[in-house]
A and B are shown apart, each in its own frame.
Chain A
């Protein structure tokens, strides 16, 4: 049972062609107008998209790329409907980063099978954090170990939301989830704009994130992330707390307690060539740095400069 958007004028045109798929409980959302289709996909994403290759103005390519580059929508399985000649001549999948193909003149039963396969494959991708859609610990470890092994220099940055617990306690977990999603989007958008394909963002869990970027870009990226976070976080606080400048609550003895407002801290570990042999060493340095940066009030970042001293 899934909702499937169909943006393919030459496929599943008649009710009788759609019947075998609908009989399986899937809901087909067939779009006649491509422009409207894309807007509704973005506003209310389906579980699978069937899109035809070679739509007017290359809009198929634009849409596929945009969906695959968005952190949350990248998990939406996309099936490309192609002509027979495309299969003969081959398809450049770096330009069409899709998950499955199906031929325009395939039987509805085959289309159904391809849809089912795509859905089941997408459920197998388990490492991603369900709240943010970001890659989790396995991918983070692999990525950073990869830098070490291939001697790629990267700044590995550990992000923590400070005073997240008082916010969660006071407003409830659904507001807390919003703040985590907000943080994820801010990090991803800044990293992908500034570091393009050289950046990576992962979600360790809870209020902990990791991102990596080229070393020279790290400082300006941290600044932008903190700036954006600080501008947005007030929208997630109740106006009276934002105005007061701290959270108020009572401890177990009923005494009033104050907590600083939620902020962000980033500990930056530059992984330069030969500095580390294993991911564990990186996270150890990060743990020490985190203590320092957390001690600073408000949003802040701290770049580990010790590597320079080691070299000298």
Chain B
């Protein structure tokens, strides 16, 4: 069977995607507390790309009856309610062995979400939380490769280290497809809104994102900024080339750039405080 078909089949039958043990144990402690609210659980869930994707999968499933409509954690929380969220938490699976690259990718995703949120608010995009959510889960395809195809993943990591290529080039060689596309397939399989799935699919090629070009461009630039900043680890040590089209969409001058970086610095140091606890 060719690899692409193998990946698609696996995505169809994907029961569970693992995440970082410390976040899950923190949430498990929280749900034991009688006074904890759904909103406070949401504040932690929205700091994890896997739990956020699962929450969105659930609320957009045909069972709950809002297919492809819900794109943010806060809306999902209101619709699902405490008990469903609690069940999602107590039954969530974790990585058997946590690698340092897992934490790196987590931090990278959080950083991108922070930058994207700032940028979306500055560009007056209607729902900035949606853009930061898309940005948080933009590399979900990498988690799929890491957890579902450990042998291919090992080969990709080895290629990146030995030959110094971009991770997505190694993915293309090993799997015949890149993590953006895999993430897009998963988002489609899970009924997520196009406002999330299309930017995920095209975050390296934002000019192809059609009506979502602005969101995809913000995520594309966040990927570059966060890597250049040296926050987290996106899978390889390179800063991806800037898409001209993306820059045209959201470009900023020196003065605004300074303001953005100040805001980002503040947000990242807050996040560092959060991630250091784990």
Contacts and interface: CB of A to CB of B under 8 A. Distances in A.
Whether A associates with B in a native complex is yes
Interface of A: 33-36, 38-40, 42-45, 59, 62-63, 65-67, 69-70, 72, 177-178, 181-182, 185-186, 188-189, 192-193, 228, 231-232, 235-236
Contact of A182 (B63, B71, B79): B79
27 contacts: A33-B15, A36-B15, A36-B93, A39-B15, A39-B88, A42-B88, A43-B63, A44-B61, A44-B63, A62-B86, A66-B87, A70-B81, A70-B83, A72-B63, A178-B65, A178-B66, A181-B65, A181-B66, A185-B81, A186-B78, A192-B81, A192-B83, A193-B37, A193-B38, A193-B81, A232-B75, A236-B69
B187 interface: no
B61 A43 contact: yes
B78 A38 contact: no
A42 B87 contact: yes
B130 to A, nearest CB: 10
Contacts of B249: none
B146 interface: no
Given A70-B83, A182-B66, A235-B69, A228 B78 contact: yes
B81 A39 contact: no
B92 interface: yes
A35 B93 CA distance: 7
B16 interface: yes
Contacts of B78: 185-186, 189, 228, 231-232
B177 to A, nearest CB: 25
B148 to A, nearest CB: 13
B231 interface: no
B70 interface: yes
B38 to A, nearest CB: 6
Contacts, number: 91
Contacts of A66: 83-84, 86-87
Interface residues of B, number: 31
A201 B94 CA distance: 36
A39 B91 contact: yes
Contact of B90 (A62, A177, A231): A62
B58 interface: yes
A43 B58 contact: yes
B138 interface: no
Nearest to B63: A45
Contacts of A65: 83
B91 A192 contact: no
Contacts of A67: 87
B66 A69 contact: no
A66 B83 CA distance: 5
A235 B38 CA distance: 21
Contacts of A72: 63-64
B54 interface: yes
Nearest to B57: A43
Contacts of B91: 34-35, 38-39, 59, 63
Contacts of A189: 38, 78-82
A38 B84 CA distance: 11
Contacts of A186: 78-79
Interface in B204-227: none
Contacts of B79: 182, 185-186, 189, 232
A231 B81 contact: no
B84 A70 contact: yes
A192 B84 CA distance: 12
Nearest to A236: B69
A192 B82 CA distance: 9
A192 B90 CA distance: 20
A36 B91 CA distance: 7
Interface in B27-83: 37-38, 54, 57-58, 61, 63-66, 69-71, 74-75, 78-83
A230 to B, nearest CB: 11
Nearest to B70: A235
A235 B69 CA distance: 7
A181 B16 CA distance: 27
A67 to B, nearest CB: 8
6 shortest A-B CB distances, which residue pairs? Answer: A189-B81, A38-B91, A36-B15, A66-B87, A69-B83, A181-B65
Contacts of B75: 231-232, 235
Contact of B58 (A42, A63, A185): A42
Contact of A35 (B16, B63, B80): B16
A77 B12 CA distance: 27
B180 to A, nearest CB: 24
**Central interface residue in B70, B80, B81, by most chain A CB within 10 Å:** B81
A40 B278 CA distance: 29
Given A39-B16, A42-B58, A62 B69 contact: no
A62 B87 contact: yes
A67 B81 CA distance: 12
B66 A38 contact: no
Contacts of B61: 43-44
Contacts of B15: 33, 36, 39-40
Nearest to B28: A57
A308 B39 CA distance: 35
A294 to B, nearest CB: 24
A177 B64 CA distance: 12
A63 B87 CA distance: 7
A228 B79 CA distance: 9
A288 B82 CA distance: 34
